[in-house]
Structure 1
């Protein structure tokens, strides 16, 4: 299975009605169908939002290297796959599907060692049917002209 780096971007709202920018991973059907990634891990970074609950430029710059460190560490041996990034409503949420939650936790700690203490929380749930991913994927623009990862 080859993991591509194809992404789309969509706008949505959270339950409170705040605007959310959703970046979703595309072309990962083989990973879904493999049945190996049965658990979802969500990493929440809450921040004091600026305009319409979006992060300040400074806060966004703080998040970028953290996102890259997590993605690189988790995907190196396909322990977990970053499938979605939600930003808005005073938080950023990174959604991963993983083979093993305890190993995910250990890798997360290792990947974040170089950083100062971060304002993050982790939530995990069994999701063998990739329900969250399929719901997020419904937001993909139908014309196929979504933005790529480099655009966010």
Structure 2
């Protein structure tokens, strides 16, 4: 069986929180081959709450640590694509990573391995079934709207 190719092509577009703060939406392009497997049916969200600056963004120290966490997550799941990060939302005091996974149990084990290399982080998790990738489709509308501006 051939290894599943996971796109490394990303886009970023601005969006706005209800209070007017900037939200940077970063999405992964070219995910149809992953969707077509019909195995990535669980959507998981990992949310990091931070103290925002006046524009709702993290400070440099927090942002740098977030990028290190992102790199570690990518390294883990590129080697073993039991889950894939499809989107990242940053702003208004939150960074939210969106994953699609094949197994909740395996995702939990893998993400705990990744996070064990960092100090305790202010993270919360949410999971639900989303076999049609509805959140991903909605997120992709942000890129389309940004291109139309």
Q: Same fold (TM over 0.5)?
A: yes
Q: Please give the TM-score of this superposition, normalised by the length of structure 1.
A: 0.89
Q: Please give the TM-score of this superposition, normalised by the length of structure 2.
A: 0.91
Q: CA contact under 8 A between 1:10 and 1:141: conserved in structure 2?
A: no
Q: CA contact under 8 A between 1:19 and 1:89: conserved in structure 2?
A: yes
Cα distance, 1:115 vs structure 2: 0.7
Cα distance, 1:32 vs structure 2: 1.0
Aligned pair 1:77/2:76, yes or no? no
Aligned counterpart, 1:110: 113
Indicate which of 88, 91, 102 corresponds to 1:88.
Answer: 91
Cα distance, 1:117 vs structure 2: 0.6
Aligned counterpart, 2:126: 123
Cα distance, 1:15 vs structure 2: 4.1
Indicate which of 125, 137, 142 corresponds to 2:140.
Answer: 137
Aligned pair 1:43/2:42, yes or no? no
Aligned counterpart, 2:60: 57
Q: CA contact under 8 A between 1:22 and 1:84: conserved in structure 2?
A: yes
Question: Hey, what's the Cα distance between the residues in 1 that align with 2:19 and 2:39?
Answer: 34
Question: Hey, what's the Cα distance between the residues in 2 that align with 1:18 and 1:142?
Answer: 18
Indicate which of 24, 27, 49 corresponds to 1:24.
Answer: 27
**Structure 1 residues 49 and 33 mapped into 2: Cα distance closer, same or farther (>3 Å)?**
same
Secondary structure of the residue aligned to 2:142 is coil
Aligned counterpart, 2:102: 99
Q: Aligned residue pairs: how many?
A: 144
Structure 2, unaligned stretches of length 5 or more? none
Structure 1, unaligned stretches of length 5 or more? 145-152
Cα distance, 1:76 vs structure 2: 1.6
Q: CA contact under 8 A between 2:46 and 2:96: conserved in structure 1?
A: yes
